Structure 1
Amino acid sequence: MATEAPPPPPGGTDAAPHGPVQPTTEAFVEVQESAEFGELRRTYRSFAFPLTVAFIAWYLLYVLLSSYAGGFMGINLFGNINVALVLGLGQFATTFLIAWLYSRHAANRLDPKAEAIKSRMERTEADA
C-alpha cells in the first residue's frame, strides 16, 4: 500500500540520524519575549479584538431588537420580507465577511511575520 510508512532503519532505532532538531523550551520563551513576536501579537490583536467586539455588539443588537422591538422587526419591507429576516440574513453575511477579511489579513500581515519567526527559530536550532 502506498500510504504505509517505510520500514525502520536497520539497527533497531526509530530516530533518524540527521532528523530535525527539536527547539528547547528556552528557545520558545526567547521567541515569545522578542519584539518581533510582540509585533505579531499586536498585529493579530489590533484586527481580531475590534472586529470581535463589533460583531458581538451587532449580534446583541439583533437579539435585543428581536426581543423588545417586535413591531419594528415585523415591518414588511417588500412582499413577505420583513426587517427581522433582512437583519437575520445580515448576521450570516457579516460572519462570512469577517471570515474573508480575516483570511486576507492573516495571509498579508500575520503569515509573513509568523513565517519569519519560524524560519529564524529553525535556523537557530539547526546551527546549535
Structure 2
Amino acid sequence: MSTTGERSTGTIYEQVQDSPEFADLRSRLRRFVFPMSAAFLLWYLAYVLLASYAPGFMSIKVIGNINVGLIIGLLQFVTTFAITTIYVRYANKYLDPAAERLRTQIESAT
C-alpha cells in the first residue's frame, strides 16, 4: 500500500471487491435472495397463523382424511423445492458466469 498520495490498490481480492463487476454480482444475488426469502417467510407465516387462529379452516376435509392444513403443510415442501430449482436456474444464468469471470480475473493476477 502506498502512502505517497497515490491511490492505494490493495490486494487483488480488495480490487475485485471494489470492482463494478463484483458490485453487480452482489446486487444480482440480493435482488433474487431478499424478495424470495421475504415471500417464503410470509407464506410460512401465513401457514403458522392459519394453524393457530383458523383451526376450523385448516381442518376442512378435502378428500378422506386429507384436510386443508395437511395440503398447505405439504405445499411448504413443494415451495422449498420450487425455490431451490428457481435459484439454481437463476444462478446458472446470471450469477455463475459473473463469478467465473471474477475467479478467472483473480487467478490470472496471482
Relative to the length of structure 1, the TM-score reads 0.76
- Among candidates 19, 31, 41, match of residue 34 of structure 1: 19
Structure 2, unmatched stretches of 5+, are: 1-9
Number of the residue aligned with 2:87: 102
The answer to whether the aligner puts 1:68 opposite 2:53 as a matched pair is: yes
Q: Which range moved further: 115-124 or 60-69?
A: 115-124
Q: Is residue 2:70 matched to residue 1:85?
A: yes
RMSD: 1.0
**Alpha-carbon displacement from aligned partner over 1:85-109 (angstroms, at most 9, x marks no partner):** 0000000000000111111111111
TM superposition shift of 1:119: 0.5
Q: How many residues align?
A: 101
Deviations along 1:61-112, whole A, 9 cap, x unmatched? 0000000100000011121111000000000000000111111111111110
Larger of the two Rg values belongs to structure: 1
Partner of 1:12: none
**Structure 2-normalised TM-score?**
0.88
Unaligned residue ranges in structure 1 (runs of 5+): 1-24
